[in-house]
A and B are shown apart, each in its own frame.
Chain A
């Protein structure tokens, strides 16, 4: 700690930081543009000037850019000094000379850092009366809107896009006073993290194109703290609503999880909430009209329950509460977890590894601190994008840790650090099925079949610790690579292993566990990250359910005749024929879901469930972190949370436990009581009766407009404001105005800070943890004593089969996830169906790119256009996972090539 004097008042601040960070941490208002807590300082905008005095006797002082000046003990500075103030006002005056007069039609207005800083410096009137510079905009794809006139040349966009996120196609062009930030030509921004430009840009150059479709100012949104449902990482988001539709998703800072950024799937994949295919009323198919009210539907469901023996099928995309309620309602023996059998095994294994393995699973923030990374079988950019971004940071940071201490440069000196590092990257080894876009930063990449990846992993474990199982039959290159990886991991302080369920191989997971255990046995502080298929896969696995196969068996063998399916499209979980047979055999099919799909089509009773924006619940992410998400806006009684439907059904059936639960808190309490592994989950967020100064936390900002007019077209008499029975948040602007506890921050705002930069005011230290600790509770602890090999069985070498292809699933950030594929901009970015073949296999089969290949997997016939790759292993092939239009098959599996559709030879012309 150091003592500094700001305007003659002494403050204790941590050393090693720059003055700007120190001032902001102390809650001072100091304007800035080019500095960003995640990206460091470059001192380009000259906005954060302060007076620095040499010593006590110095009265004149000197202007310094606070972001470029390190904190020193006994330092005297002044923010309020007149000269410094005037300097800052002048700088913003110059920045504004070319800024257009279009705040009224700018999407950033009301959440604009430039507006805030202009007001903060007191530059109230424009002095410049001459011609303004203009630019031609570019088309940047379905996510981002470009309006170059507004640019103030702070360089944040390119620093984020190129340096931080590793993008290639956004850059700065031209020179002098006509710099241009954009692509070299019109086109879609390629990065999976392009949406963050919206929040990184201090003004409205890059804005959210999906928000533009239904534009609403930040002050008019009703926002709630939520958790992203589009992958297993559980990034924290703020979801905003107006006039009954979800308008946008913004980042909600969580120092441990997503920090300042989100991936494009999370940010733009929210349109399923507003989709025309939503189920908004319960349906009972036995009557006309089918659409009915809540009570008729509940009575019908209760009648079906009373007459039949019931099994329940849960879902990894439903909240923990909904799954728990279903499990309680149907009984432990009748609860099935609604994922394919392979996925069930993989997720259970992953949970077992995290619980019984020796290595700890780090959070995303800790991933960034790792100094050697080995990825086995995961295409992170497509399966857990934010983890990929975290790995990129670890690789970027690692060399700097070593050099910086020698070079005497502070870590936040971004330009200097980059100059020193050049292209040097930390160690990253990737073993995957196919190209991952990560190759350029990897030390070494290895592409092969899952078994080969597992064998490499086992070999690495063996090289680290000799008593771990040996791998016979490796070739020279593989041995060398395994040794190199083992040596690098051993040389690192915090080695990190990343694997997951997406390559569909248990052996890869076991190999990862073996390496982790071997590293811990060598007393390394090793971390292991396992990505999972869906947002609540971990919660569902911890809850414990039977396999889907046994649910099919129960119905087909007559053990049960009624099935209740929770937010799950079974046609995405098992073979089409099997599911159809199952649903036909069942006497009663009750489905709770929010979107019409193939499963809801055959439901006799369909209950309209709320999406993440219309429900409260808890999700458990891949590190075992329980996180609470809150309802964003109220719904009518016909559309409600799945757990509430099931609770009401239980009450109607006089269920001995459920009928005693009244509301969300009771469900949580019951879960904690009945399942010790969820201990503490009721304290993840404050309970329903939590109040500050007797008041709830408002979801709407205090400037929220139109309250007495928005519903006046229906009835001029205003209705009573809706009450939220499940959360300490109010749906209106009424409530406590100060900072709420970190787990229930609906939006970031502070006086004078309307943009997302207000996050500074909510952190203990700028760029660090939120005040009161980052939200979420980790439920899984490793068993550090178990350093024995996780398994002794090493898989055999992969052997191609004549007339067959070993079909693997390839994931796509846009396309593989079910819910986000209801958003038009995501659909625009999704790939067309294809089958990926090895170059040599294609030549052998006489196939060319674009021609179709026919094959059968477990009786399901496929005919897909061929894509050719030199990378994928010969004898294996890849198919996009989860893409609409491709029938489900449990992969990886052997595909039988359909010989009768053999490629016809072109007739040769002879002269």
Chain B
């Protein structure tokens, strides 16, 4: 998918994550800040990159502020931000998203 405009999903509530995606500079650039960076930073990074990969996002700047969210939440927030940035707010391929988990 092509990131056309900046978009955000999620909140800064405890157990949530705020994801901002913006058009990139020719690759995926990830900036992660997390309350649990020591214990789960590696895993959160992997989940974000994996979700972007499944959505065929290859060119984006992604900024994530994680407040201790579980993987399912992080995945959902990344997906929402990406679809919003591509201007797709209906006709979301829910079944495909569900299958890919």
A binds B: no
Q: Which residues of B does A touch, CB under 8 Å?
A: none
